[in-house]
């Protein structure tokens, strides 16, 4: 398994990243990033709304790995969607992250009536070279079908909730068709993949946990994973997913666990 996915513009994106949603600004997020870098992670997933971009910036600038070897994602918050407002939001994220470019800038949620305008601004930011890649998040099939006919630049990534209980196979197929890299949030179901019997049983074949099996299944589906933890041991465990391979039969067993069940908000029905 390759450690990087090559996006449609040629940029290499590590297929494993550290999520930092609900990692506290300050020592907590900084320590988490230091543990992760030490464990081999080279990709951090934050967002303006997480309120921890300053800590992320501090950690990426002091962790000992050059900025050019790290891949940093941040996201445009819903309240800042539009056209002009996007440039301001982007500049604020850059300032908080203490960096002069972002590796991947995402529209966080498909805000009705706004996301097309926002996308035009992301295209401009991409062309200016201040984001090495741009993409969307929480876009379902119908959102992409609505956006794609009007874009100049096809989004490089779509980051969505994805795990054995929420698979949305049509969305995955559509992303593959347009070479939009598929990225999984809540990839270990907030730690609950360890309570899914089939995952735990499959894990016994490899001395892996249910969480590790979920992550491996996602990678073998072609997705990019960003498990979140602030705990050193868990950060290390969540990265130990490159030394085993699920068989076709095991992949299909996990495919059958789909319940179309969300942990997080529904992109068709959110009010924030």
Q: Which sequence positions are flagged as catalytic? A: 50
Return the axis-axis angle of helices 210-220 and 197-204, rounded to nearest 10°. 90
Cβ closest to ligand NDP, residue 118 vs residue 211:
211
Q: Which of residues 185-204 bind ligand NDP (CB under 6 A)?
A: 185-191, 194
Closest CB to ligand NDP among residues 31, 229 = 229
CB of 50 to ligand NDP, least distance (A): 7
- Establish if 181 lies at the interface with ligand NDP (CB under 6 A): no
Task: List, in order, residues 6 or more apart from 182 with CB less than 8 Å away.
Answer: 157, 158, 160, 162, 171, 172, 175, 176, 221, 222, 223, 224
Applying CB under 6 A, among 30, 45, 218, 250 the residue interacting with ligand NDP is 45
Please state, as a whole number, how many other Cβ atoms lie within 10 Å of the Cβ of residue 91. Answer: 12
Nearest-CB residue for ligand NDP: 19
Region near ligand NDP per CB under 6 A, out of 17-25, 77-85, 93-101, 174-182? 17-25
Q: How far apart are CA 120 and CA 151, in angstroms?
A: 8
Q: What are phi and psi of 256, to 5 degrees?
A: -75, -5
H-assigned helices in the chain: 27-38, 53-62, 84-97, 115-128, 141-147, 169-177, 197-204, 210-220, 232-239, 248-255
Interaction residues for ligand NDP, span 127-146 (CB under 6 A): 137-138
- Which span (15-23, 82-90, 115-123, 148-156) binds ligand NDP, by CB under 6 A? 15-23
Rounded to 5°, the CA angle 46-56-161 comes to 15
Query: Rounded CA gap, 43 and 36, in Å?
Result: 9
Segment interacting with ligand NDP (CB under 6 A) among 33-41, 79-87, 96-104, 226-234: 226-234
Distance of closest approach, residue 249 Cβ to ligand NDP, in angstroms: 25
Pairing of the two strands 12-14 and 4-6: antiparallel
**Distance, CA of 108 to chain centre:** 11
- Output 152 or 201, the one with its CB closest to ligand NDP: 201
Q: Which of the stretches 3-11, 114-122, 183-191, 245-253 binds ligand NDP when contact is defined by CB under 6 A?
A: 183-191
Q: Compute the least distance from the CB of residue 188 to ligand NDP, in Å.
A: 4
Binding site for ligand NDP (CB under 6 A): 19-21, 45, 108, 137-138, 159, 185-191, 194, 211, 226-231, 234, 237-238, 264
């Amino acid at each position: 398994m390759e450690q990087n996915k090559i996006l449609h513009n040629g940029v290499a994106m590590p297929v494993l990243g550290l999520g930092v949603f609900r990692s506290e600004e300050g020592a907590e997020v900084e320590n988490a990033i230091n543990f992760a870098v030490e464990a081999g992670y080279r990709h951090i997933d934050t967002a303006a709304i997480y309120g921890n971009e300053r800590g992320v910036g501090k950690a990426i600038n002091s962790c000992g790995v050059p900025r050019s070897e790290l891949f940093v994602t941040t996201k445009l918050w819903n309240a800042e969607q539009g056209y002009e407002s996007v440039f301001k939001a982007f500049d604020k994220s850059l300032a908080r992250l203490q960096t002069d470019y972002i590796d991947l800038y995402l529209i966080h949620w498909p805000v009705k009536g706004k996301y097309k305008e926002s996308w035009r601004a992301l295209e401009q930011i991409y062309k200016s070279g201040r984001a090495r890649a741009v993409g969307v998040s929480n876009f379902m099939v119908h959102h992409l079908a609505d956006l794609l006919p009007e874009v100049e630049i096809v989004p490089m990534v779509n980051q969505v909730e994805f795990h054995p209980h929420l698979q949305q196979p049509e969305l995955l197929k559509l992303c593959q068709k347009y070479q939009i890299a598929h990225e999984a949030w809540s990839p270990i179901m907030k730690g609950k993949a360890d309570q899914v019997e089939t995952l735990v049983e499959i894990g016994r074949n490899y001395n892996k946990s249910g969480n590790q099996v979920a992550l491996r299944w996602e990678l073998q589906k072609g997705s990019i994973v960003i498990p979140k933890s602030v705990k050193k041991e868990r950060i290390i465990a969540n990265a130990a997913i490159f030394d085993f391979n699920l068989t076709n039969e095991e992949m299909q067993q996990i495919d059958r666990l789909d319940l179309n069940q969300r942990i997080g908000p529904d992109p068709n029905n959110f009010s924030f």
